[in-house]
Amino acid sequence: MSGATNIFVYGTLRDQDILMTALGPEFSDADVRVGTARGVRAAKTAAGPYPGLVKDADAAAPGLLLRNMSDEAVARLVYFEACFSFDLIEVEVDCAGEMFRAEIFWPNDEVDLSAEDWRLEDWQQSEKPLFLAMARDVMAVYPDGGHKGPMILRMGAMRRAVASLRAAGVQPADLRSEFGRDGIHQLHRRRNFTGFFAAETLNFRFRTFGGGLSETVDREVMVTGDAVSVLPWDPVRDTVLLIEQVRAAPVARGDSNPWSLEVIAGLLDRMETPEDAARREAQEEAGLELGRMEKITSFYSSPGALTENMTCFLAEADLSGEGGIHGLASEAEDIRSMIVPFATAMAALESGEAANAPIVVSLMALAARKERLEALWG
């Protein structure tokens, strides 16, 4: 039996890109041996694209034994795993018949483990890009760890990673220039704040319409996840469901009434589709099951300062019931839903009471498409 400052990593840290991200400059000094931890196996988690360990007397979890780790390397790994609610415990590791005492990251009680086995090869083919983006986001603020603790850091990192992967898709360029991402040069990003959202300063040069490159510009942005909204409409009764809740941005602006009249909306979690996210939010915010849906459009909420890209939907719904109070207690949501005639909602648009982009876009879209949707859904 040998012993030292040894850590046995499994799951995503078996992937070299993830291990390099977590260890940073300490990676080059790592003494790595392949091994297994007996009596445990890797299982999927509900919280994200990464596994946890469960006890299984007949199993052995494959992994890497990192031997004689420096204090800085250990600190980086502990920080990284704490963001996903994992703590160190001691285990025995078998490396080709040689036994070592090592520490391993064990999921704490916050981690909801699945009965389904987690396999590295499957993960690398599907969820690795998302988790790698999350890992880079998390380690971008090492050792500070953000400003609101590991759970908020993890949730924010996941949503920002989802948004980044979605943004990489092909976009239409019929009216605008075809400079694309290649038109951005010497990009440097500095993270100023990390919480549920992140604040960054960007320095870059860009291709100009005159054919050259701009001077280096300095821009500040809020980096968020992507969002969805949905306006439920009952084509039989010609009613819509709206919600009301207090919002921090109007509070910060000094609005005389910071309770906002809105359509159902929320952020995308993991790699769910925008439609799935809209259906989930309808359940959470209004206890409502949606029928057929139609996409309105996707747009940047405020491209000068905010990364959020929102996809808006109209949805068929049975609104024969009444409104109520909804929302997730875990997120301190206090949401009042109301069912009103479409004409009443349009009057709120005319008066300025409906005063945010998703509700404006949604009501105008329903007004424009109403006749066609009545024929389809009525």
Q: Give the DSSP letter string of 274-311.
A: HHHHHHHHHHHHH-----SEEEEEEEES-TTTB--EEE
The domain spanning residue 62 has which CATH number? 3.10.490.10
Position 197 in a domain: no
265 annotated ligand-binding residue: yes
Extract the runs of DSSP E, i.e. beta strands, from 171-216: 184-194, 198-206
Whether residue 365 sits in one domain with residue 245: yes
DSSP 8-state symbol, 70: -
Structural domain harbouring 117: 7-126
pLDDT, residue 3, reads 42
How far from 126 is each of 131, 132, 218, 237, CA to CA, in Å?
10, 12, 36, 44
CA distance linking residue 108 with residue 339, whole number of Å? 43
Position 218 in a domain: no
How far from 341 is each of 232, 265, 295, 312, 365, CA to CA, in Å?
12, 20, 22, 20, 16
pLDDT, residue 109, reads 86
Domain end: 126, 147, 176, which one? 126
How far from 338 is each of 82, 233, 244, 281, 348, CA to CA, in Å?
41, 12, 8, 16, 13
pLDDT, residue 29, reads 87
pLDDT, residue 151, reads 81
CA distance linking residue 246 with residue 227, whole number of Å? 18
Token readout for 104 is 């391993």
Helix H or strand E segment including 21? helix 16-23
Beta bridge partners of 102: 91
Beta strand pairing call for 113-117 and 98-107? unpaired
Position 150 in a domain: no
Size (the chain), residues: 378
Q: Answer whether the bond into residue 107 is a cis peptide, omega within 30°.
A: no
Position 115 in a domain: yes
282 annotated ligand-binding residue: no
Return the CA Rg of the chain: 25
Position 187 in a domain: no
Token readout for 305 is 């300062």
DSSP 8-state symbol, 114: E
Whether residue 241 sits in one domain with residue 352: yes
Position 276 in a domain: yes
Mean pLDDT, rounded, of the chain: 93
CA distance linking residue 145 with residue 79, whole number of Å? 8
Q: How many domains are there within the chain?
A: 2
Helix H or strand E segment including 369? helix 357-377
Domain end: 91, 126, 161, which one? 126
Question: What separation, in Å, do the N-terminal and C-terminal C-alpha atoms of the chain show?
Answer: 74
305 annotated ligand-binding residue: no
The domain spanning residue 282 has which CATH number? 3.90.79.10
Helix H or strand E segment including 314? strand 309-316
Give every residue of the chain whose pLDDT is below 50, as ranges. Answer: 1-3
Helix H or strand E segment including 99? strand 98-107
**Closest CA relative to residue 57, chosen from 43, 44, 40, 42:** 40
Helix H or strand E segment including 101? strand 98-107
Position 322 in a domain: yes
Q: Which residue has the tokens 């929320």?
A: 266
CA distance linking residue 204 with residue 261, whole number of Å? 38
Q: Using one digit for the tens of pLDDT, what is the confidence trace for 140-187? A: 889 887 667 778 888 999 999 999 999 998 888 999 998 999 999 999
Angle at 61 between CA 59 and CA 67, to 5 degrees: 140
- What are the residue numbers of the active site? 331
Domain end: 89, 110, 126, which one? 126
How far from 249 is each of 110, 146, 195, 212, 231, CA to CA, in Å?
30, 21, 16, 38, 22
Residues 65/100, Cβ–Cβ less than 8 Å: yes
pTM: 0.89
pLDDT, residue 4, reads 55
Whether residue 232 sits in one domain with residue 114: no
Alpha carbon 3 to its chain centroid, in Å, reads 39
281 annotated ligand-binding residue: yes
Position 290 in a domain: yes
